[in-house]
Structure 1
Amino acid sequence: MKKIIIPIVALASVATGAWAQTDSLWNLDKCMEHAIHYNLDVKRQELMLESTDQDHLQSKLDLLPNLSGSLEHDLGAGRVLDRGTYQWENTNVSQGDLGLQSRLTLFAGLQQLNNMKMNKATYLMNKEELDAMEDNVILSVMTGYLDLLRNQELEDVAEKKVEVTRQQVERMERLVEVGNEPKGKLLEVNAQLSSEKLAFTRAKNAREIAKLNLMHIMNLGNQTHFEIEMPVLPDPSSVEIPELDSVFQYALVNLPQIKSAEYGIVSQERFLAIQQGRRSPTLYANGMLYSNYSTGLTNPLDPDPANPTMDYPLDQQVKDNQYKQVSVGIQIPFFNRWQTQTDINKAKLSLQNAEFLYNSAVLELQQSIQQYHTEALAAMDNYVSAKEAVANSDEAYRFADERFKVGTGTALELQQARNQLYESASEMITSKFVLIFYTNILDFYMGKDIVL
């Protein structure tokens, strides 16, 4: 164990210290930030959130009255209707009218209020969906990051294995040269070295693939140099696995995908209320301000209207001809071919579907947490067993190495002992990262930051 694992840890420590002097290293936080910022699904969800925010704002503004204006100007020749005198005349007339109109809905079965509440719930639902999407990106980055770390350590183990075997080849060459060992033993050790070089090449390629996968998760593009930091990981033996029920109860209240499903129910409840409100009469108020002008009008202050001598300016006409109106009306829906009832029935189905989505999200969460908790416990057991196997394999390897040195052991026995040691070390590394992975997920569901 000390011969194999300690040099690997030392190698990782030296590499980390050397890398820390450059700016090209990516730690986990930097990888997560980059992945979230450049994730296209996250960007699309951000646009969706902005759109629903505009819907919510508009539903508030819909409570206000509307206001519109109109302006019309006519030029007539021949027999035309003078809007000022309302008489048909054979003349040239320049005339027009202008006005302002406004309408305010006083009551419509609370449709506007429920629409505002529905849009608010939809906005909050999309906001939680955005948080859930970012959480998924974070977990994906963590998975890729840990997988790259695991493959890096496995590559280090394979490289150390090649180094030790190469030293044995050099020692065997010297023994064969002086005639203390037959050439057959040298051939056996050389064959083992070739096999271990192949294993090292495979481990190196696996690390490159893991690095590429992480770059793809991050949408890193065509960056030619990408290396991650090698953090000092905690001792897996000291890792605490949280209680299953505690994780589930916290996640049930705080996890964004659950909160999103809850807001989805609220949104559909308000939508149903909107459809039911369509049965109600609509009470509304109208207001209007109107005026007109015409070149054919005579100033009412003119002493001789038959032979007018006073000008009648258009702005004065607009003031004199003002008409104001305020009205209150009610619109009662009697029959629309059962369209309202059909929409109510469909809204009820949508509400039931939202409730099913919530129950499905809760069930999926419960099953996922149970799976992660079970995997974490199994990984802890595997790590403890693998650690013990490494210690025993290390002792067996030392014994086989001593026997080989004094000539009482064969190269095959030494090879088998060495293979068993490195297999145990690889299993311990894998168990360690599996344990770190699942405990980090459980901690993440408990609201804790992912820290390696």
Structure 2
Amino acid sequence: MPSQLTHMKGHAMSTRRRFFLLCLLPLLACLGRPQPLFAAPKADGTFTMERAVAQAMQANPGVEAKLLMMEQAKMNVGVAQSYFWPRVSLVAGTSRVENYEEVQTYNSDNLTSSNWNKGLRASLSLFAGFAHLNNLQKSRIAVEVEKARHQQARLELGSNVQLQFLQLLKCREDLKSAQEAVARIETQLKAAEAFVKVGMAPYVNVLQNQTELSRAQQQVIRVNNDIRNAEVQLNKYLGFSPNRPVNYVGNLKDFPGTVGYTEEEAVKAAVRQRPDLIMARKSVEVAYKDMNIAMGQYLPKVDASYDSMSSSKDYDDKRYEGYTRNYWAAGLNFSWEIFSGGGTTFSTLAERKRAQALQKDYEDAMSGARADVIRALLDITAARELIATSRKGVDAARESYAMANKRYMTNTGTITELLDAQLKLTQAENDASRALAEYHSARVRFFYYIGRENPGLK
């Protein structure tokens, strides 16, 4: 009995030891494996359109690059502001005066000597022809331009993600229609084979069904490939690897069906908030600032300076005693370029012409923006009408197919009539999903054209 108990205890200890080692092995493997410096982006794998757009904004390097450019522009404002403050510097110098031969002189400064000076120098630009002021205003406008560039990048990325998402949802609708077509044709094929066995239909009916079944199966393959391509592209936008499984959820019927803007309201919104129009408008302002800077060359420049210095001179000739002196000096410096060979005039005229050209470009962009908004509204209206018409077409096609199928099953209809009805039903379903996708795509383009982010397409 004691031996059995000892054996049982040893067996229990061995079991616990094996369990402990099994738990420890994964930990040792993790400790021994080199960890990546940057972890891959994590997600729970399920993305609606709105969440997909948000993830793309975080992961896209192009958007981040525009944000960094905006930060750089803000730093340039500080550079422009620095010209309104004094410049302070430490200065020092040394020199050696050496005579080739002893000469009689009436000025001790000409004797052989060692010299040095050091001190503090400050200068302040009091007036520079308004150049500093114009440069400061120009740098602030540049911040607004970079902010508009960043917004433009966000709009473009968001629109691309939304359009690709809608394309994926449409492909899924097409896949559903293609799979239903395969199921219908398979049912027809079984019926045709049964009719042939009892001599109620010719064998050509089986062959025609097999041909249509092959065509429908090919369509399923094509649509599956389109779905995979859309998912790969969406993964790219979201910063994921192409093979990463991501569940993109949604349905073409999930999104609201209105835009809530009249034509005039939409045009006003585009003028107010479209980033490309903002950039064009700000470019005109920058050009006129450059013209003012060029015109500033006609005006004088005034600087103030202050020096606090110490200088020393040591003579080689011992008959002369060296000296050290400390002093300060303050003054105003005035300069005015009266004639520059026409350079200032031609530079001013060139900048004015450039500003006028940019003004014309802005007017052209305004006209293009108005046309974009009107076209988007027209596309939305047309797509809405297509949706209503295509839905009626689907209902009619389903009824027609049901009637043709009933006639074929009762041997009062032909296989050609049934296959034609089946093909028209599939086409009607595809037309309905295409109309819905075109409607939402037109809404995506509309919000892009008015410069409004709408990640959920609400």
Q: Same fold (TM over 0.5)?
A: yes
Q: How does 1:175-324 map to 2 (within 5 A)?
A: 175-216=195-236, 218=237, 220=239, 222-234=241-253, 238-239=257-258, 242-294=261-313, 321-324=325-328
Aligned residues: 410
Contact 2:130 2:293 in 1 (8 A): yes
Displaced runs of 4+ in structure 1, greater than 6 A? 75-81, 305-308
Which segments of 5 or more consecutive residues in structure 1 lack a partner in the other structure? 1-21, 298-304
Contact 2:93 2:116 in 1 (8 A): yes
* Aligned equivalents of 2:48, 2:68: Cα separation in 1: 29
SS in 2 for 1:324: strand
* Aligned equivalents of 2:234, 2:255: Cα separation in 1: 24
Partner of 1:14: none
* Aligned equivalents of 1:226, 1:291: Cα separation in 2: 75
* Aligned equivalents of 2:350, 2:57: Cα separation in 1: 37
Contact 1:99 1:291 in 2 (8 A): yes
Quickly say closer, same or farther: Cα 1:307–1:51, change in 2 above 3 A: closer
Which segments of 5 or more consecutive residues in structure 2 lack a partner in the other structure? 1-42, 103-107
Partner of 2:15: none
SS in 2 for 1:450: coil
Contact 2:169 2:252 in 1 (8 A): no
Q: CA deviation at 1:152?
A: 1.6
Q: CA deviation at 1:418?
A: 0.9
**Aligned match of 2:412 in 408, 411, 417?**
408
Query: Is structure 2 residue 141 aligned with structure 1 residue 121?
Result: yes
SS in 1 for 2:412: coil
Listed one character per residue, the Cα deviations across residues 30-67 of structure 1 (whole Å, up to 9, x for unaligned) are 43244444545434433433332232211100111212
Partner of 1:144: 164
Query: Is structure 2 residue 139 aligned with structure 1 residue 134?
Result: no
Deviates more, 1:195-204 or 1:326-335: 195-204
Q: CA deviation at 1:184?
A: 2.7
* Aligned equivalents of 2:368, 2:101: Cα separation in 1: 77
**Aligned match of 1:372 in 369, 372, 376?**
376
Contact 2:376 2:445 in 1 (8 A): yes
Quickly say closer, same or farther: Cα 1:395–1:307, change in 2 above 3 A: closer
Listed one character per residue, the Cα deviations across residues 384-433 of structure 1 (whole Å, up to 9, x for unaligned) are 11111111111111111111111101111111111111111100100001
**Aligned match of 2:360 in 356, 360, 370?**
356
SS in 2 for 1:335: coil
Counterpart of 2:171, as a letter, is: N
Listed one character per residue, the Cα deviations across residues 252-306 of structure 1 (whole Å, up to 9, x for unaligned) are 1122222222222221222211111110011221211111235669xxxxxxx98
* Aligned equivalents of 1:30, 1:152: Cα separation in 2: 19
Counterpart of 2:53, as a letter, is: M
* Aligned equivalents of 2:430, 2:101: Cα separation in 1: 101
* Aligned equivalents of 2:310, 2:133: Cα separation in 1: 36
Listed one character per residue, the Cα deviations across residues 91-147 of structure 1 (whole Å, up to 9, x for unaligned) are xx7652112222211112211111110111122112112211211111111111111
SS in 2 for 1:278: helix
* Aligned equivalents of 1:231, 1:206: Cα separation in 2: 17
Query: Is structure 2 residue 441 aligned with structure 1 residue 437?
Result: yes
* Aligned equivalents of 2:453, 2:99: Cα separation in 1: 86
Query: Is structure 2 residue 430 aligned with structure 1 residue 426?
Result: yes
Quickly say closer, same or farther: Cα 1:245–1:226, change in 2 above 3 A: farther
Deviates more, 1:324-333 or 1:29-38: 29-38
Partner of 1:88: 111
SS in 1 for 2:261: coil
Partner of 1:19: none
TM-score normalised by structure 2 residue count: 0.81
Q: CA deviation at 1:185?
A: 2.1
Deviates more, 1:254-263 or 1:154-163: 254-263
Query: Is structure 2 residue 334 aligned with structure 1 residue 330?
Result: yes
Query: Is structure 2 residue 84 aligned with structure 1 residue 63?
Result: yes
Query: Is structure 2 residue 162 aligned with structure 1 residue 162?
Result: no
